[in-house]
C-alpha cells in the first residue's frame, strides 16, 4: 500500500526534495501527495511545483491564533487524504492538539544526535562544546520539542577547523539519506509508535535505523 504523505516546510526544502526523489522510485511505500508551507516565500514551494507535487500555503500570519492556523492546515491535510506528515524545516511550534491528532503519524528531522542539542543553532553549540561526534535524528513528534521517540540516526565526525557551515553541509548529506529511509520504515510499518517507544519489526538496527558516515 502506498501511503499519502504531506511534507511541511518553511524554507528551502532540501529535505523535501530528497523525500520527493526517494518516493518517486518504484516500490517506495509512500507518495508525496502534498507540500504545505506556512510561508508564501518558501523556496521549497517552487521546487515542489517543478516536481509536479500539489502545494498549499497556510500563512500563519493570516490566522489570529495558533489553533486557528492549525485547524486550517488540518483541513487541507484532510482534503488531500494525508496519512503521514514529515516536518522538514517547518519552523512553527505545534500545539498539543495538533501533535496528538497526528500522534504516531508525524515525524521530524532534527540536526543533532538527540537527546543532545535540542532546539536551534545545533551546529554552533556542538562546536562551542567541543563535541567530536555530531549527527541528525528522525523522530516521532510529541508535544515536547525535539523529544519524541527516535526512528533513525546518522553520525558524522566533527573535524578540525570545522565551521558551522561546513558541519551543517556534512550533516545535510546524511539528512538527505536518512529521512527517506525513516519515511520508508514508518510507511511499510517496520517502525511504528507504541506508547512512548518505537517498535521495529525488523530489529532496531535494520537498514536505515543506523547510518555511519559515508
The residue range among 65-73, 75-83, 104-112, 184-192 that interacts with ligand GRF, by the rule CB under 6 A, is 104-112
Among 5, 15, 98, 140, binds ligand GRF (CB under 6 A): 15
Options 5, 7, 8, 13; binder of ligand GRF; rule CB under 6 A? 13
Position 135 contacts ligand GRF (CB under 6 A): no
Are the C-beta atoms of residues 13 and 47 closer than 8 Å to each other? yes
Contact at 8 Å (CB) between 198 and 150?
yes
With binding defined as CB under 6 A, does residue 180 bind ligand GRF?
Answer: no
For the bound state, the minimum distance from the C-beta of residue 109 to ligand GRF, rounded and expressed in Å, comes to 4
Taking alpha carbons only, the member of 47, 82, 74 closest to residue 58 is: 74
Binding test (CB under 6 A) with ligand GRF, winner from 19, 28, 69, 89: 89
Distances in Å between the Cα of 100 and the Cα atoms of 6, 97, 140, 174, 202 are 17, 5, 11, 29, 26
Non-local CB neighbours of 13 within 8 Å, separated by 6+ positions: 7, 35, 42, 43, 44, 45, 47, 48, 88, 89
Q: How many residues bind ligand GRF (CB under 6 A)?
A: 14
Binding pattern for the stretch 21-60 against ligand GRF, x by CB under 6 A and - elsewhere: ----------------------------------------
Closest CA to 137 of 128, 124, 146: 146
Residue number, 109 or 141, with CB nearest to ligand GRF: 109
Respond yes or no: is residue 110 known to be catalytic.
yes
Amino acid at each position: 500500500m502506498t501511503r499519502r504523505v504531506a511534507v511541511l516546510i518553511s524554507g528551502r526544502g532540501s529535505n523535501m526534495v530528497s523525500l520527493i526523489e526517494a518516493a518517486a522510485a518504484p516500490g517506495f511505500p509512500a507518495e508525496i501527495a502534498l507540500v504545505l508551507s506556512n510561508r508564501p516565500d518558501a523556496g521549497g514551494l517552487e521546487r515542489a511545483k517543478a516536481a509536479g507535487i500539489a502545494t498549499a500555503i497556510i500563512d500563519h500570519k493570516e490566522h489570529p491564533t495558533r489553533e486557528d492556523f492549525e485547524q486550517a492546515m488540518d483541513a487541507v491535510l484532510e482534503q488531500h487524504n494525508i496519512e503521514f506528515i514529515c516536518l522538514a524545516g517547518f519552523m512553527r511550534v505545534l500545539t498539543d492538539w495538533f501533535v496528538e491528532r497526528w500522534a504516531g503519524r508525524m515525524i521530524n528531522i532534527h540536526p543533532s544526535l538527540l537527546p543532545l542539542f535540542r532546539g536551534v543553532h545545533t551546529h554552533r553549540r556542538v562546536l562551542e562544546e567541543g563535541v567530536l561526534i555530531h549527527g541528525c535524528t528522525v523522530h516521532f513528534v510529541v508535544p515536547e520539542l525535539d523529544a519524541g521517540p527516535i526512528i533513525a540516526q546518522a553520525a558524522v565526525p566533527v573535524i578540525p577547523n570545522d565551521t558551522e557551515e561546513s558541519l551543517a553541509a556534512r550533516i545535510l548529506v546524511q539528512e538527505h539519506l536518512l529521512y527517506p529511509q525513516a519515511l520508508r520504515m514508518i510507511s511499510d510499518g517496520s517502525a511504528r509508535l507504541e506508547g512512548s517507544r518505537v517498535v521495529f519489526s525488523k530489529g532496531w538496527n535494520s537498514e536505515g535505523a543506523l547510518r555511519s558516515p559515508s
